């Protein structure tokens, strides 16, 4: 039976097709897309179904592949990005999440860096705990010198990550964690106050129950040297906690993970203690462990204003089967990772579209009914995923580390997977599914989406469009006004019941964000990835109370973002209002940079990009074959870009103006279309700026790929216009 006959073509939105073509579908050597979405799902389904033969040589692989294909093409489940990109292809690496050990030796540190490069090249993200590394200025007995400390070694990881591009489709992403009782904890807390540093890291402080108790009681706690286990000094827990609060208030980092809460739910404590998580914090893992994730689209189980739990059960069972198969067909980047992953067989089944589900049910996100629905949905998924895992174990066997695990009890004789549930950020895969991200509120009721030719399309939430048309107040002008304001709360002519229902992330008070996170965490094996959005006016006390609420609700970690906080960090707050004129800084005698060759419809364009001590200062280009008008236009474009750069104009603002300008003869270069000479100069500038600029652009709210507004989700940054994700 042909898979295409099982279901109709997936109901993909225009935006989903853009993202799939740009980031997921196979391309030939000329960068041309040579795969349809149906063929992609066919490729993935067939590859993942291949695991059946491992357990039953007589298995009907086509029947299993058909079920997996239907699950994906109906957009009921979307697996994590590496599975969509790599299943059935030469690379074959299907996991998104990895944790590597970092021990207290040069050999271990640089072995971890080598392994990091291999994982990033294969499309994965990595997490590390640097808590075992001896503190700065500690003794190094072998050389009679002193240690540079964990933060200095993080810099080496950061540079290595910047060098590795993840197969051209995903950039490297890291999580760096340090225990609160490490002697370098204070320096770690403020390590990302400068937005120029650690651009490829999210950082989180691993907080213990002992520290939280000392903080709430106004006491002190011990800093312990990991090399000796001895006390280095004692500090006020309250003062250190306030440093965390202040740094997070300033620019959203560090996050917090509650280490003891994580290890209380460690399913295999006899194997080791969990020290770290993946880059977005939702997947605590042992050293050398990986996990593959998938998210159920909750909008697909709403029927006639109710949740169809029978349908949800069917989706959960097929999804657990799918994710367990992924473990077997996966090609692991390291033998140690394959061994540990197959010993525990962790999977992470999560959800997306929760906000859209609430709207369909008529439930406001910031309400007790939403809390109740979150617990009802997730407790059901947790129960059924474990039942599905137990059923698989009866056929295929328990996970090898089952003896000694939390499941090793008479009432749970079978369990295939050490964990079954995770709430991950769903950035690009929720765009594919055409639904809201993870368990986040909707990002906007209406927004302007950038398209490839530089135009903007008005996007309206489909349910809001439908209801507003039914009630007779829909208009393009109103939708544009909503897009400009970002909310409907202060717009006249919209009823209070709609304002109550269509709340966006910034309309909702932080405590509701955290209570929703806590409700899902209550029934999730691993952790819950969510960003707690604060208005710009939020105080440090607001952030402090959020951390305490998350701790007492049993959350395993927290990521906060105060709207506009990183913008000010980058722009340097003290700027005079509306200066009438700006004089460019003079060009220095000496600059340094690179020349990049770009293909254009007019010939090969050589773009030179230079910087001085203050940053990028000039761009100019030459084309050997061209003359007259073409050369003069290229020279004029370069001069104006250079003038703008030396006048303090942000590079991303320049890119917004010149990227996407089209001429009659576009060409392909390295899988990307170059639309014109101006577009080529923009692409060269963008690539040159990536090392210290991609992070800055995204943090400031503009996508470095297309210039559209980005959203902060689950400790990551996602563009719903083109699918860009800083965390992959």
Q: What is the pLDDT of residue 693?
A: 44
Bridge partners of residue 531, in order along the sequence: 559
pLDDT higher than 80, residue 453: no
- Relative orientation angle of helices 628-646 and 677-699, to the nearest 10 degrees: 20
The more confident residue out of 8 and 136 is 136
pLDDT over threshold 50, residue 450: yes
Strands, E, within 517-591: which ranges? 531-534, 557-562
pLDDT computed for residue 617 by the predictor: 84
CA–CA separation, 419 and 274 (whole Å): 14
- pLDDT score at 579: 47
- Per-residue pLDDT at 78: 98
- Tell me how far apart the alpha carbons of residues 695 and 704 are, in angstroms, rounded to a whole number: 8
Q: Does residue 155 contact residue 176 with C-beta atoms inside 8 Å?
A: no
Residue 709 · residue 728 · CB < 8 Å: no
Confidence of residue 413 (pLDDT cuts 50, 70, 90): very high
User: What's the pLDDT at 655?
Assistant: 83
E strand segments, 453-591: 456-460, 531-534, 557-562
Please give the pLDDT value at position 72: 98
> Above 70 in pLDDT, residue 454?
no
Which ranges constitute the DSSP H helices of 472-505?
476-485, 496-501
What average pLDDT does the structure give for the chain?
88
Task: Please report the DSSP string for 167-212 in residue order.
Answer: TTTEE--EEEEEETTSTTHHHHHTTTSSTTS-TTEEEEEEE-HHHH
Examine the pLDDT at 308 and tell me if it is beyond 70: yes
Asked if the model's pLDDT at residue 695 lies above 50, the reply is: no
The pLDDT score that the predictor gives to residue 705 is 65
CA dist list (Å): 634 to 560, 650, 666: 44, 21, 16
What is the DSSP code string of 3-49? GGGTSPPP---HHHHHHHHHHTS-B-TTS-B---HHHHHHHHHHHHH
Rounded to an integer, the average pLDDT of 11-31 is: 90
Nearest to 97 by CA among 307, 274, 352, 313: 274
CA angle 703, 705, 710 (to 5 degrees): 20
In the predicted structure, residue 329 carries a pLDDT above the cut 50:
yes
What is the band of 694 on the pLDDT scale with cuts at 50, 70, 90?
Answer: very low
Higher pLDDT among residues 255 and 597, named by residue: 255
C-alpha torsion 548→553→556→557, nearest 10: -40
pLDDT of residue 704: 63
Query: pLDDT grade, residue 156 (50/70/90)?
Result: very high
* 527-563 pLDDT per residue, tens: 999 989 898 899 999 999 999 999 999 999 999 999 8
CA distances to 257, 313, 392, 435, 703 from 483, rounded to whole Å, are: 35, 37, 48, 18, 17
| Eight-class DSSP state of 279 | T
The DSSP element (H or E) to which 615 belongs, if any, is: strand 615-622
Question: What DSSP element (H or E) covers 125?
Answer: strand 125-129
Among 293-297, 399-403, 456-460, which is the least confidently predicted range?
Answer: 456-460
Least confident range from 408-412, 456-460, 461-465, 701-705: namely 701-705
pLDDT at residue number 679:
86
Q: pLDDT confidence of 215, banded at 50, 70, 90?
A: very high
Q: Is the pLDDT of residue 5 over 60?
A: no
Q: How far apart are CA 678 and CA 77, in angstroms?
A: 41
Q: Average pLDDT, stretch 113-139?
A: 93
Name the residue with higher pLDDT: 325 or 139.
325
Asked whether residue 590 carries a pLDDT value surpassing 80, the answer given is: no
What pLDDT is stored for residue 382 in this prediction? 98
The C-alpha atoms of residue 39 and residue 10 are separated, in whole angstroms, by: 11
Q: Does 168 have pLDDT greater than 50?
A: no
How confident is the model at residue 166, as a pLDDT?
43
> pLDDT grade, residue 376 (50/70/90)?
very high
Q: Highest mean pLDDT range out of 1-5, 491-495, 584-588?
A: 491-495
Short-list 307, 289, 320, CA closest to 356: 307
Residue 495: phi, psi to the nearest 5?
-70, 155
Number of C-beta neighbours around residue 577 at 10 A: 4
Question: What average pLDDT score do residues 681-706 get?
Answer: 64
Residue pair 558/544 in contact (Cβ under 8 Å)? The answer is no
Give the catalytic positions in this structure: 278, 280, 282
pLDDT of residue 637: 86
Average the pLDDT over 60-66 and give the result.
97
Which residue from 156, 213, 204, 159 is spatially nearest to 182, judged by alpha carbons?
204
* Segment 500-533, tens digit of pLDDT: 999 999 899 999 999 999 999 999 999 999 989 8
């Amino acid at each position: 039976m042909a898979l295409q006959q099982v279901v109709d073509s997936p109901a993909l939105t225009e935006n989903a097709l853009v993202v799939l073509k740009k980031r997921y579908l196979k391309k030939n050597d000329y960068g041309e897309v040579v795969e349809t979405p149906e063929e992609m799902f066919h490729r993935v389904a067939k590859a993942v179904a291949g695991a059946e033969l491992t357990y039953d040589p007589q298995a009907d692989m086509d029947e299993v592949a058909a079920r997996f294909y239907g699950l994906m093409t109906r957009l009921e489940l979307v697996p994590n990005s590496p599975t969509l990109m790599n299943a059935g292809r030469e690379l074959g690496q299907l996991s998104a999440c990895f944790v590597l050990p970092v021990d207290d030796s040069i050999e271990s540190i640089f072995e971890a860096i080598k392994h990091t490069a291999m994982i990033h090249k294969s499309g994965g993200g990595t997490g590390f705990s640097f808590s075992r590394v001896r503190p700065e200025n500690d003794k190094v007995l072998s050389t009679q010198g002193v240690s540079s400390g964990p933060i200095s070694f993080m810099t080496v990881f950061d540079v290595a990550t910047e060098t590795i591009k993840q197969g051209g489709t995903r950039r490297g992403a890291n999580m760096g964690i340090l225990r609160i009782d490490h002697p370098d904890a204070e320096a770690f807390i403020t390590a990302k106050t400068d937005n120029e540093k650690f651009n490829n890291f999210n950082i989180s402080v691993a907080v213990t129950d002992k520290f939280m108790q000392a903080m709430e009681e106004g006491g002190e706690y011990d800093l312990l040297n990991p090399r000796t286990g001895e006390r280095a000094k004692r500090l006020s827990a309250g003062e250190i906690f306030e440093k965390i609060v202040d740094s997070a208030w300033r620019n959203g980092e560090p996050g917090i993970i509650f280490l003891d809460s994580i290890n209380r739910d460690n399913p295999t404590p006899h194997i080791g203690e969990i020290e770290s998580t993946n880059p977005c914090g939702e997947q605590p893992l042992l050293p050398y462990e990986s996990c593959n994730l998938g998210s159920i689209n909750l909008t697909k189980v709403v029927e006639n204003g109710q949740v169809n739990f029978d349908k949800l059960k069917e989706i959960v069972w097929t999804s657990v089967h799918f994710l367990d198969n992924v473990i077997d067909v996966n090609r692991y980047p390291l033998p140690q990772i394959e061994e540990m992953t197959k010993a525990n067989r962790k999977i992470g089944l999560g959800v997306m579209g929760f906000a859209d589900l609430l709207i369909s049910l008529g439930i406001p996100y910031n309400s007790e009914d939403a809390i109740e629905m979150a617990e009802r949905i997730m407790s059901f998924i947790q129960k059924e995923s474990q039942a599905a895992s137990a059923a698989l174990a009866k056929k295929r066997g328990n996970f090898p580390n089952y003896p000694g695990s939390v499941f090793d009890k008479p009432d749970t004789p079978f369990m295939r997977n050490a964990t079954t549930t995770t709430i991950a950020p769903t950035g690009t895969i929720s765009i594919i599914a055409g639904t809201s991200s993870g368990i986040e509120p909707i990002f906007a009721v209406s927004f302007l989406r950038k398209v490839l030719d530089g135009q903007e399309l008005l996007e309206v939430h489909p349910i809001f469009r439908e209801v507003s048309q039914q009630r007779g107040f829909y208009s393009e002008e109103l939708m544009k006004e909503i897009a400009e304001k970002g909310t409907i709360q202060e717009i006249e002519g919209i009823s209070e019941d709609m304002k109550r229902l269509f709340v966006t992330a910034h309309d909702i008070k932080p405590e509701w964000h955290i209570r929703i996170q806590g409700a899902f965490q209550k029934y999730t094996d691993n952790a819950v990835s969510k960003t707690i959005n604060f208005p710009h006016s939020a105080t440090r006390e607001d952030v402090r109370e959020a951390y305490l609420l998350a701790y007492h609700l049993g959350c395993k970690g927290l990521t906060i973002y105060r709207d506009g906080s990183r913008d000010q960090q980058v722009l340097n707050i003290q700027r005079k209002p509306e200066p009438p004129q700006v004089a460019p800084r003079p060009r220095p005698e000496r600059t340094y940079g690179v020349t990049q060759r770009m293909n254009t419809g007019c010939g090969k364009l050589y773009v030179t990009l230079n910087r001085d001590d203050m940053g990028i200062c000039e761009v100019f280009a030459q084309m050997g074959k061209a003359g007259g008008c073409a050369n003069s236009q290229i020279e004029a474009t370069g001069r104006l870009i250079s003038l703008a750069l030396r006048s303090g104009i942000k590079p991303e603002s320049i890119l917004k103006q010149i990227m996407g300008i089209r001429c009659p003869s576009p060409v392909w270069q390295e899988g990307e279309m170059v639309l014109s000479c101006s577009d080529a100069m923009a692409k060269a500038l963008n690539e040159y700026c990536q090392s210290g600029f991609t992070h800055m652009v995204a943090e400031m709210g503009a996508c470095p790929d297309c210039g559209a507004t980005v959203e902060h989700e689950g400790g990551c940054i996602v563009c719903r216009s083109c699918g860009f994700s800083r965390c992959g």
